[in-house]
Structure 1
Amino acid sequence: MSNCWRSRRGTVFSCGFEPGLFSCFGVLLLTTHVLYGEANTNTSVVVQKDAQFDITYLDTVTSENQTIYAFNHTVSKNKTEGVRVSVELLSERPNGPVLFVVRQKQAVLSFQVPLILRGLYQRKYQYTQVGRTLCQPPTLALSEMQFFYVDVSTLSTSGVHYQLRVSRVESFTLQTDKKFTFNATPSQPQFFKYVFPDGEDTVIVKVNSQKNFPCSVMSIQDIQCPVYDLDNNVAFIGMYQTMTKTGAITVQRKDFPSNSFYVVVVVKTEDEACGGPLKFYSLLPDELLDAGNRSKTLDVVVSPAINSNVYIMGVLFCLGIFLSFYILTFLVACIENKRLHRKRAGLLKAADMSPAETAPLLGKGLSPASPYEYGSFADNGSTMSSEPVTDSMASAETNDGYMERPLDVVGRCRQESLSSVEEDDYDTLADIDSDKNIVRTKKYLCVSDLARKDKRVLNKKYQIYFWNIATIAVFYALPVIQLVITYQTVVNVTGNQDICYYNFLCAHPLGALSSFNNILSNLGYVMLGLLFLLIVLQRDILHNRALMRNDTPALECGIPKHFGLFYAMGTALMMEGLLSACYHVCPNYTNFQFDTSFMYMIAGLCMLKLYQKRHPDINASAYSAYACLAAVIFFSVLGVVFGKGNTAFWVVFSVIHIVATMLLSTQLYYVGRWRLDSGILRRILYVIYTDCIRQCSGPMYIDRMVLLVMGNIVNWSLAAYGLIKRPNDFASYLLAIAICNLLLYFAFYIIMKLRSGERVLFLALVCILFTAVVWGFALFFFFQGLSTWQKTPAESREHNRDCILLSFFDDHDIWHFLSSIAMFGSFLVLLTMDDDLDTIQREKIYVF
């Protein structure tokens, strides 16, 4: 029986059911009055009913009567049973909402029907069907009977019809590797409990759906009351992420003292957070909008994550791959060292032979084709040096038509190398009576024509590349590291996993890092960059020793050895690994330039090194080169921030791209012998008139013209593509421009090298073939696209995929492995491709 007490004015102030089990209802009345903002002074009758699970109750409530439904159930310590309260409002347009208060042993849950939820721009949506799952506070007893009450009240003067049903939730406690399917709406969220089994420290919670929309939120929360399971409060605690079809969160036992957690799934009121359209905008701030049918069917499954053994195997695998390159390099160096010792012994033996015996050995197998044999007529007058041919020079002419340098010329060059080390003092020809324009505008140039500056001067000039990039690396890396640490801290503190674009299906945390495997896979850039620096250092030491011995091949033969750019390339490769690791601490569109900045550096340095090989005297200085690269990075940042859909930006960038291409083409064609001043237009018109209109003569430098025409076609096409398509990923578009130009120049260099009668040694050929194959596989994994910050975080997660290597590395990690190896191989190609010229005099090595 129900026992109620009334005051003199008839207002109920205390009501009980079976004294000893249920006490006063003063808290209920106070809560009701506070929520409605006013006190109800009219006479109100409270009716309490015994209620049972899985029975639908149809009833009416007014301001004059309130109903209390009393439920009881058995709670066990070792078993959690979910309880769900479902309510539907049957009356249309009631005068006031109906308040439902669920009172449990250690918690109170209250909500009103119609339920009002807010969306973007504070738009309000109402729902007449509400379903809430009750949180389950832990119990210390093995088994106990617990009561909870559902209080229904309203301030509406007219009767409001409603429907109430309380039921048990099937599979409320999730089982490992067992999928459970359920439905959810914005007003009917769902949450489930998961308890870590013994021996399991990390699990991955995966939620999937067959359709993109409506947009949803999955959250991981600690076992506590209340559970934040509405769109307007789900982000208050725990970890959460928006999702369309796929969502995944890695959960560690150490973050949950109770060894258990709730998996909460909420359907949002609007789809903008997941990239959906904004259908309409209400101008009336108090208008209640109908949300329509936003029901979504989802699957949840909890799978065990990898254990510590897999972490160890991943680390050992990564180290083993790149340490093997150190071992292989050491073996190749030993073999090469033995070969050089045998060669040096043969030269010493030849030194003891008579001149008649050594004459057949001079130039044997080392003379390339004549400069008159490719792409030109044998016009001696147009190709002769400005220096007069003396009898001593004529007597030094060999049987194959080449001029050996007389001893007085060699001595003069060596004497010059010991004088001033200022570059400006040596910006002239060895013959002070000749102008450098005479030599540099010859139809056919040899390396000796563009290698007249003092070696120490050029070494200092190119060492500046290394010191500048080292300085840039320090000042660039420190704030980057500080920023990504802040990003990671924000993610860990707020639990907002929409900040970073991970591959959540293969993101293995370690300590404070959310995706350790993506960071570890960048180790190859650092280790192989360091190995390349060691290889360059060894070559530098051997070359300096040869100079100290006054070896003629080191002084007068081969491509001039300047290692400053090689040191800069190795440093850039190491910095690429460091900054790529920093980017993958929290990848998103605001820090993507960290991952690409030194890629631009590497591409630019490789092109400069290719040009320096045949043009050591006129290559760009470090200051101008880094200034151009800084401009590229500047446009990269502008493109990321303002490039998306901005027509003005793309027009300006395309114009600058085309103008820069034309200026660089002019610089390369005339070997730097032109001036950009006020008379440039007049000179251009004069050249067009004399060479195209008056006599219609062909280009003087055919090979250079072919390269530059192809380069302009490629760059103009890329500029047109950018202006028409306007790709969202501007940084990758800019990188594609740099890579296309590098590949074009490299292909031209190899073709011209073979065309000039030069050879590619076995080691360089192996490096070329190996690098080409590795680049092919690397690009395959790069274009898999496991995530993209060009879309919303929810849309990016649709591309997530499981690990494919050792259950630890994904496709992008393999791209890191292969691309670092491919870059290292590319550097070795640049280092070794002209080794066949080490015994060829520079007068016989052609410039192209």
Structure 2
Amino acid sequence: MVLRSCWKSRHKNRPAPCWIRPGLIALLWLCGFSCCSGAVGETKNVVQKDAEFDVTYNDTVTSENQTIYAFNHTLFSPFPSFGFQTEGVRVSVDVLSQGFESPILFVIRQKQAVLSFQVPLILRGLYQRKYPYKHVGRTLCQPPTRAASESQYFFVDVSTLSNQGTNYQLRVSRVESFTLQTDTKFSFTASPSQPQYFKYVFPDGIDTVIVKVNSEMNFPCSVMSIQDIQCPVYDLDNNVAFIGMYQTMTKKGAITVQRKDFPSNSFYVVIVVKTEDEACGGPLRFYPLRPDELIDAGNRSKVLDVMVSPAINSDIYVIGMLFCLGIFLSFYLLTLLVALFFCPSCPLSIDRSLDSVGRSRQESLSSVEEDDYDTLDDINSDKNIVRTKKFLCVSDLARKDKRILSKKYQIYFWNIATIAVFYALPVVQLVITYQTVVNVTGNQDICYYNFLCAHPLGALSAFNNILSNLGYVMLGLLFLLIVLKRDIVHNRALVRNNLNALECGIPKHFGLFYAMGTALMMEGLLSACYHVCPNYTNFQFDTSFMYMIAGLCMLKLYQKRHPDINASAYTAYACLAVVIFFSVLGVVFGKGNTVFWIVFSVIHILATLLLSTQLYYMGRWRLDSGILRRMVYVIYTDCIRQCSGPMYIDRMVLIVMGNIVNWSAYGLIERPNDFASYLLAIAICNLLLYFAFYIIMKLRSGERIQCLALVCILFTAVVWGFALYFFFQGLSTWQKTPAESREHNRDCILLSFFDDHDIWHFLSSIAMFGSFLVLLTMDDDLDTVQRDKIYVF
């Protein structure tokens, strides 16, 4: 309206042209222009003053006057070839009046930049909440130059549209320690209206540094940003995320910065205090009664310190990779030595053959199907007669043709190989997208790294966390080679009609072992994919094959004494798919959702009951409309009428203990945030319970554990203990906000390259490999024992 009135007064009331837009009006107003007098009042009085640093100016401004403060700033550089050793300049403003209707506008004009802000400064939070600040402090951008010295003038223009005088204080001062020194800590104070930033120049010989910001105060929530040397510097809550790398923080913040990303060999470290704490997990303020209501922000000053330290050099990368590779290659060497010493004493290598026993193994397996014919004798054709005996031997549950069972269990391997391909390819594509988003946007809150020990390599932000998963792949491959060797030896013994191979020991079926080795390799691949960008949306990548490993190990334990009635691959993988499905649902909907936990607990209890019935009756029961009538009959005859004990005592002990573990209402009562880990803990507890039961029953049955298996058991138990210690160190957690997760970050503890979680990867891969060896070797003492003398439990 002012410009339109001016136009009419000077052009005889002709209509104002269309180029007079609100944006142009604001621009002209900011620059302090006054177009006319008369209809809009008298001409604005402009006063320019020569001002000095570190002097406080108390003055009053109205709509009729405008004050310009002129400052002369001389810069010197002892090293002109590296640019200025810049000295920062900071402008601090206080408004002394109480009104918010007509703020004062401050415009700072520099050689290559213009900075403007109003006081009171209105900052917006979540849901557009408005917070006014009467004290504002801003650091001026310093454009780079290569001259030995230069005098720079800058001007501070003060104006307002208020007709009443508004008192203010202005102070311009030089910033001490504006240029950060390597390995030198500097403390400062920041607030939402008084952000701080400092400059760092890469010294010669240092290509990567870690910028660490710390505070003793959890709140207020802050943002740490790394920006290139350019103007303007984005140092307010509403624009700090526009460029560079940034992350929210409470007590700790750390960003690794590489020289190659900054052509000027220098960067700004920007610290901004947010207007609200919700982004860091703090409480959310009340919602104002009116949309335009201003909320008192209170005291949101925060004391912080910043230090820039050199990161590791390329030699440490090489040492870390060689160490990782050497650790797991040593297991290949150790396995080779053990094979050379133990194989000559292996019973299967002794040529003890009977020409009249067995059939040739040259017949093709492809023409044999499980349903082609029944291998039971006519007198034992009813399976109920065999499987309901009070004491069973392995020979009772190993009556099907070996070729049929071998083909049945090989399906485990082929199915998991197929699952791995179709599961891994989208995962790899997704995590590459995650990493690309992090690199392009600079948002360090997307991924939950241990930022104090995250070493980048190429596009990867935490290469060390990926490298440490190599053990799963290498040891999984080694286990497959060991199983393959045993498989070949066993098949050769069958071809020679070896008596021990045909009628002694636990039936040798290697399909599940092949599946376990493949699952271990896939666990390494998917764990590496998860650690490309760990967060709550892709945590199931890291746990999916852990469920499979636990399930396959339980199936293998059960298969040892029940080869004829073990679950098929299709049933087993379908059940594991249901588990993974519930894992995803728990991550998405489980946090604090009572309905979900009730439904899950009911399904868990019912599934446990069905499995318990299947195990107790060896599969000789039917789930149909008469199940309730038969249950009542069994309870009446066995518990009420004659009060007899269970027929299968050992099985009943295992089932009761298993149900006690699974029926505990911990999940329903506590409702842990990490549902995927809770589900995995259930699977591991069941596996450990079954494994302990198997060992106890094996010793109780008069069997013994050979030296090699005993060494594997003891070694694995010790390694698992150390592995779990490092696992529970908790260097990060996606159950909290990124800022809260960074409170748990810690420095590297091994070779300045690996952290606690990397050591967990090392030890857990070794422990899983040892666990697989235990399953493979624990029944080697039975290789010369007839199967009708080996008990089923």
TM-score by length of 2: 0.94
Unpaired runs of 5+ residues, structure 2, are 1-5, 11-22, 77-82
Distance across 2 between alignment mates of 1:817 and 1:338: 32
Provide the C-alpha distance between the structure 2 equivalents of 1:547 and 1:74, rounded to a whole number of angstroms.
92
Alignment of 1:143-182 (within 5 A): 143-182=149-188
Correspondence for 1:829? 774
Query: Are the counterparts in 2 of residues 86 and 131 from structure 1 also a CA contact under 8 Å?
Result: yes
Question: Is 1:284 the counterpart of 2:303 in the alignment?
Answer: no
**Which residue is 1:748 aligned to?**
693
Q: Which amino acid aligns with 1:289?
A: I
Aligned partner of 2:219: which letter? F
Residue 417 of structure 1 and its aligned partner are, at CA, apart by: 11
Corresponding residue for 1:462?
A: 409
Residues 28, 693 of structure 1: CA spacing in aligned structure 2 closer, same or farther, 3 A cutoff?
closer
Which amino acid in structure 1 is aligned with residue 581 of structure 2? F
Cα displacement string for residues 181-234 of structure 1 (whole angstroms, at most 9, x for unaligned residues): 000010000000000000100000000000100000000000000000000000
- CA distance in 1: counterparts of 2:593 and 2:361, whole angstroms: 58
Residues 506 and 803, structure 1, Cα contact 8 Å, conserved in 2: yes
Q: In structure 2, what is the equivalent of residue 401 of structure 1?
A: none
CA distance in 1 between counterparts of 2:300 and 2:632 reads 69
Structure 1 residues 340 and 78, CA gap change in structure 2 (3 angstroms): same
Shift of 1:421: 2.0
In the alignment, structure 1 residue 816 sits paired with structure 2 residue 761: yes
* Equivalent in the alignment of 2:17: none
Does the CA contact (< 8 Å) of 1:572 and 1:602 recur in 2?
Answer: yes
User: What is the alpha-carbon distance in structure 2 between the residues aligned to residue 420 and residue 249 of structure 1?
Assistant: 62
Shift of 1:777: 0.3
8 Å CA contact 1:421–1:454 kept in 2: the answer is no
Cα shift at 1:425:
3.7
- Against the structure 1 CA distance between its residues 427 and 129, is the aligned structure 2 distance closer, same or farther, given a 3 Å change threshold? farther
SS at match of 1:86: strand
SS in 2 for 1:289: coil
Change (3 A) 1:39 1:670: farther
State the shift of 1:338 in Å: 2.8
**1:31 equivalent in structure 2:** 27
Q: Could you tell me which residue of structure 1 aligns to residue 393 of structure 2?
A: 446
Q: How does 1:178-217 map to 2 (within 5 A)?
A: 178-217=184-223
Q: How does 1:66-215 map to 2 (within 5 A)?
A: 66-76=66-76, 77-93=83-99, 95-215=101-221
691, 695, 708: which is aligned to 2:642?
Answer: 695
Return the offset for 1:144: 1.3
Which residue of the partner structure matches residue 47 of structure 1? 47
Alpha carbons of 1:534 and 1:415: their partners in 2 closer, same or farther (altered >3 Å)?
closer
8 Å contact 1:101–1:152 — kept in the other structure? yes
What's the CA shift for 1:75? 1.6
Asked if residue 57 in structure 1 is aligned to residue 57 in structure 2, the reply is yes
Find the counterpart in structure 2 of residue 431 from structure 1: 378
Q: CA deviation at 1:246?
A: 0.4
Deviation at 1:139, TM superposition (A): 1.3
**Which of 530, 539, 545 is 1:583 aligned to?**
530
SS of the residue corresponding to residue 146 of structure 1 reads strand
Q: Is the 8 A contact 1:96 1:156 kept in 2?
A: yes
Aligned counterpart in structure 2 of residue 805 of structure 1, from 746, 750, 757? 750
1:527 corresponds to which residue?
474
SS at match of 2:169: strand
Partner in structure 2 of residue 624 of structure 1? 571
Equivalent residue of 1:69, what SS? strand
Tell me which of 528, 552, 571 is aligned to 1:605. Answer: 552
Q: SS of the residue aligned with 1:290?
A: coil
* Cα distance change on mapping 1:689 and 1:176 into 2, 3 Å: same
Q: Conserved in 1, the CA contact under 8 Å of 2:125 and 2:276?
A: yes
Residue 772 of structure 1 pairs with residue 768 of structure 2: no
| In 2: Cα distance, 1:324 partner to 1:162 partner | 73
* Matches of 2:333 and 2:670, distance apart in 1: 47
Which one is further off, 467-476 or 428-437? 428-437
Q: Structure 1 512/447 Cα, relative in aligned 2: closer, same or farther at 3 Å?
A: same
Aligned to 1:297: 303
- Deviation of 1:140 after TM superposition, in Å, equals 2.6
CA deviation string 1:744-791 (max 9, x = no partner): 000000000001011100000000000000000000000000000000
Residue 103 of structure 1, CA deviation: 0.6
With over 3 angstroms needed to count, the CA separation of the structure-2 counterparts of 1:419 and 1:641, relative to structure 1, is closer
Asked if 2 retains the 8 angstrom alpha-carbon contact of 1:636 and 1:731, the reply is yes
RMSD (CA atoms): 2.4
Report how far residue 310 of structure 1 moved. Answer: 0.4
Deviations 1:574-593 (A, max 9, x none): 00000000000000000000
Q: Aligned partners of 2:598 and 2:657: how far apart in 1?
A: 23
Change (3 A) 1:46 1:10: farther
Q: Which amino acid aligns with 1:79?
A: Q
* Structure 1 segment 4-23 matched on structure 2, within 5 A: none
Counterparts of 1:292 and 1:419, CA distance in 2: 78
Query: Hey, what does 1:383 align to over in structure 2?
Result: none
Are 1:500 and 2:430 an aligned pair? no
Whether 1:731 and 2:680 are equivalent positions in the alignment is no
Match of 1:658 in 2: 605
**Residues 348 and 501 in structure 2, CA contact (< 8 A), matched pair in contact too:** no
How far did 1:340 drift? 3.9
Give the structure 2 partner of residue 759 of structure 1: 704
For the pair 1:480 / 2:427, whether they are aligned, the reply is: yes
2 CA distance for matches of 1:714 and 1:556?
A: 37
Q: What does the per-residue CA deviation read over 1:295-321, in whole Å, with 9 as the maximum and x for residues that have no partner?
A: 000000000000000000000000000
Q: Name the SS for the 2:683 alignment partner.
A: helix
Counterpart of 1:273 in structure 2 is 279
Query: For residues 469 and 529 of structure 1, what CA distance do their matches in structure 2 show?
Result: 14
Q: Quick check: 2:224–2:248 contact (8 Å CA) kept in 1?
A: yes
Q: Label 1:217 to 1:558 Cα distance change in 2 as closer, same or farther (>3 A).
A: same
Larger Rg: 1
Equivalent residue, structure 1, for 2:659:
712
CA distance in 2, matches of 1:38, 1:440: 103
CA–CA distance in structure 1, aligned partners of residues 749 and 478 of structure 2: 28
How many positions carry a matched residue from both structures?
A: 765
- The DSSP-based 3-state class of the residue aligned with 1:607 is helix
Question: Is contact 1:439–1:449 with CA below 8 Å preserved after alignment?
Answer: yes
- The change in CA–CA distance for 1:753 and 1:35 in structure 2 (over 3 A counts) is farther
Which ranges in structure 1 are unaligned for 5 or more consecutive residues?
Answer: 1-6, 12-26, 352-406
- Helix, strand or coil for the counterpart of 2:52? coil
Equivalent residue of 1:57, what SS? strand
Identify if the C-alpha distance between structure 1 residues 817 and 246 changes in structure 2 by more than 3 Å, giving closer, same or farther. same
Q: Which amino acid aligns with 1:309?
A: D
**Pair 1:337 & 2:343 matched:** yes
Pair 1:664–1:619, CA change in 2 (3 A): same
Percent identity among equivalent residues? 84
Q: Tell me the residue number matched to 1:366.
A: none
Deviation at 1:435, TM superposition (A): 1.2
Q: Distance in 2 between matches of 1:415 and 1:508?
A: 55
Cα separation, 2, equivalents of 1:133 and 1:476: 51
* In 1: Cα distance, 2:524 partner to 2:509 partner: 25
Alignment-mate amino acid for residue 589 of structure 1: Y
Name the SS for the 2:378 alignment partner: coil
Give the equivalent residue in structure 1 for 2:228: 222
